[in-house]
Structure 1
């Protein structure tokens, strides 16, 4: 039970968990709420008032008020909006109060000046105040719509994603507002504005001040009713898109040459139609898989309360793809063998010549070079038929290929294997099983693909990892997960990033992509050319 409670108030705990603990009198949980939203509240206050001191004073009042009235918050998921609502009321009240005291600012300036003249050591503070005054003169001329994103942007280390999340805007909207806001800034003042805003960010002292202010205030009297589940969102790293596009590009090229080879091998119209039917079914299953995963990802982000259900469905889709492709490969081989047997009976003229005779050695390419009695290269050039054994050599290729070093084909088994279904130490395929696995669905110790299931899993759509998972969509793991919809002990934070080893992977992934392209495309091109050359001979 103690472990469970610790996880509930983890630094990455959702707003609902923090609110519930705070309602129970846990000031540590409320401190986490302050840390999470202090920069947003202070920035919005500053964007409205233009005074660092006043904005932080009012922001502190917001959090003190929130602590006192936390039991009035009916939906903890809307904590951020609720805090912003309190801020708007405080700012409006402050403005009305200032409007009735026109001499206050003048008196404070006089007091500051006298203090500065009587103490030269405070000269730096006066210069800082003058700089902030100049800063606000520039910002005050910009509409709030553009001013708020600018203030947050430079206070959040120029992170567009963070600004978008804080203001509940899309990244494209934030980019447009920032672009417009910069144009409105006087060019000569740009560097001053940026530096001033960076230095104005609230520090740990702000959090300490809030917690000191609520120190003598008792916890809210009653707990609010909670019915919604906290949303789980994460940042989507851009390079996953590169992996997706590159994998699709390589797969399409390989499929094109695979289709050419299969059509060349076909001896009758019925066989050609079967090849087209098989290709359509493979692409149809892949299309349904991709469309389903993108739909589930979008739904999980748009409906966070149902994210658990969408995540479960996404994993069922992944397993459905693996099962479907496995069944399709078995059906492809069986249906091809069955039809070939029928066509040999009904259209014997299509199989004249020694290279088309069943059992002929001319149906395969087997290199004269051998190592330990095993051919260096064995490639099946004709359609796989009943009684045919898998291609076997140090390098093997065909419908079924077993290689001692490398294999390419429909079903490929080798230390380095590439196929629709592939198994090996390094495995690449639509469905791949390996120590290091790459594919549409990659399964292994270290796996990268559109979906990945591994000890360490990296993907563009869905990762299910034992230790860690990284994905642009669903990420599920025991220890660490980074993704748009993530589940793990450490989620979308620095510790998760370290466990996932994103920094290390970014240095090597270009080499991984290059190797993957070579292994997918080159064997397909060589095989198609070999088949074409083989059947072009009389």
Structure 2
């Protein structure tokens, strides 16, 4: 199946798969299994482990399909899930590489077509040799070279499946070829093709899909775990708590520093109380916004997530701007009047400088926040 056909198949079958059609998703698995197993194998250098990881990645993606609104994001999303699971596997199963084995010996063992009676021993040797061979390749060329031989030596096909340009694929292939002799490269091609998943791989996943839950938005927090590489709810909760904590600390630090500066010049308790009240409102708005974003991330998806995020962001910014541009200047009006009576020129200069700083800070904060919201929605597959 060529690159255009794979892209068309994903776009055609993905909506049905997201509605729970296991057969549609099975067809997607069959089209993408070479790419996914190649990504896992390039990282783990272990053929059986790469197939296990690929199966887990396909199942994780299946259960969270409803969170992916843009079909063109499917392959990048699936590749990232696979990479995260493969890295988790390496952290959990650290193996030392072979000692004293050159690439030529390793590739000969990995690609040796004649089995010996001691099948288990040979299998272990081939797996170790394959790991050594892949490790000898440039890191950024491993996925490319494996997939190149599995996909009929089409650089364009590899480019589509890995989200690269054709020029980038050709460059990485060239680097890999420079590091291997022709006969070793030929044997590596045999190894790549012989280790590719067969039709049985798709059958295994199809059977697993029959027992797995269909795509559901209620699994939102687990979708974050799958996409980010976390494998327990505790890790997700801890990550969320850390993000919220950092956001609140940054917000409160900025508010406290601004409040301290304002309180230094307060002329009486009435002004001081008004300024403190305004800062407390800003702090509560920050807490409410972060809590709202966490709720949206867990419970919403698609258009609902987009609308809820924009509404929460605009509401938050409206509170901050109103307190900063209306309430706080009103609270300090009497102070500004006294300053203007003592030195009109200096007071006017100070007010002008304060307005400039306020607008610059507001614009920078608003633009930065909008950029963060857009990036977050894009990462979630909403945009």
Larger Rg: 1
> Which of the pair is proportionally richer in strand?
1
> Which of the pair is proportionally richer in helix?
2
TM-score with structure 1 setting the length:
0.35
Ranked by relative contact order (alpha carbons within 8 Å, sequence separation 6 or more), the top structure is 2
TM-score with structure 2 setting the length:
0.48
